[in-house]
Amino acid sequence: MIGGLFVYNHKGEVLISRVYRDDIGRNAVDAFRVNVIHARQQVRSPVTNIAHTSFFHIKRSNIWICAAAKKNVNAALVFQFLYKMVEVMGNYFGKINEDNIKNNFVLIYELLDEIMDYGYPQNTDTGILKTYITQQGIKSQTKEETTKITNQVTGQIAWRREGIKYRRNELFLDVIESVNLLMSPQGQVLSAHVSGRVQMKSFLSGMPECKFGINDKIVVDSKRAAAARPATSPLTTASSTSA
């Protein structure tokens, strides 16, 4: 998704810079400044491709807000996030201008860490953000308040509507594993690793609490069976053969 977010003033100076992915280098800041902000011809498109990097920008008064991405991302989703980002900042400190951004840069970085994770948009609801991000920073909460905030932030209720009912309560789990092995022509193992993932499909009514555990029951049972199997004595085998 989004590799980095940059906020410029009308001179092209960087006010806010937040890089979420390693594929976006610091030279991307200069690339947008030179090719868009300082471009002699008028920039008509909000999307600009520079050196295999896509730049999505919106403008508020004399402020440029830009998102950079190397991947083939959903442009509508990126712009929706940028507009929500402007809305959140406006709800916190009012008008979007250079002075307000400089005076609240610590708060903006806190917001950027919460509304986006590794380039993927997260929670952009101002009402929820204000419950644990204030002008002074993160405030201490009691255990009950912390639990309430955690439920709101993680979307424990918001993402699932009330009144969901199924005729049968069913839950399907698939464990998918792949083994990757690299060997030399002489048969020497150069590298080997196993990667896996767990996929779940739920048909559960209401909001039940589910707990899952992974153990090595098959391995333990096979070891127990091998230990319980009686060992064959070489002398007994030899005597029975001679007879």
Domain annotation for the chain: domains and CATH numbers: 4-124 (3.30.450.60), 160-227 (2.60.40.1170)
Question: 170-184: string of b/e by CB count within 10 Å (b at 16+)?
Answer: eeeeeeeeeeeeeee
3-class DSSP state of 14: strand
pLDDT at 139: 41
State mean pLDDT over 187-203: 88
- pLDDT one-digit tens code per residue, 55-103: 999 988 889 999 999 888 888 999 999 999 999 888 888 888 888 888 8
Convert the pLDDT of each residue in 53-65 to its tens digit: 889 999 888 899 9
d(CA 182, CA 191): 5
How would residue 159 be classed by pLDDT, with cut points 50, 70 and 90? low
**Across 8-22, 79-93, 150-164, least confident range:** 150-164
What does the pLDDT average to over 151-158?
A: 54
pLDDT digits (tens, 9 = 90+) for 28-46: 888 888 888 888 777 778 8
The 10s digit of each residue's pLDDT in 163-176 is 788 888 898 988 88
Listed residue (123, 189, 192) closest to 158, CA to CA = 123
Indicate yes or no: pTM above 0.85: no
Place of tokens 């009012």: 94
Q: What are phi and psi of 173, to 5 degrees?
A: -120, 130
* Residues in CB range of 79: below 8 A, 6 or more apart: 46, 56, 58
Cα separation, 53 vs 71, whole angstroms: 8
- Reading across the β-sheet that carries 14-19, which strands appear in turn? 14-19, 4-8, 63-69, 53-60, 47-50
242 CB neighbour count, 10 Å cutoff: 6
Q: Could you give the percent of the chain with pLDDT greater than 90? A: 9
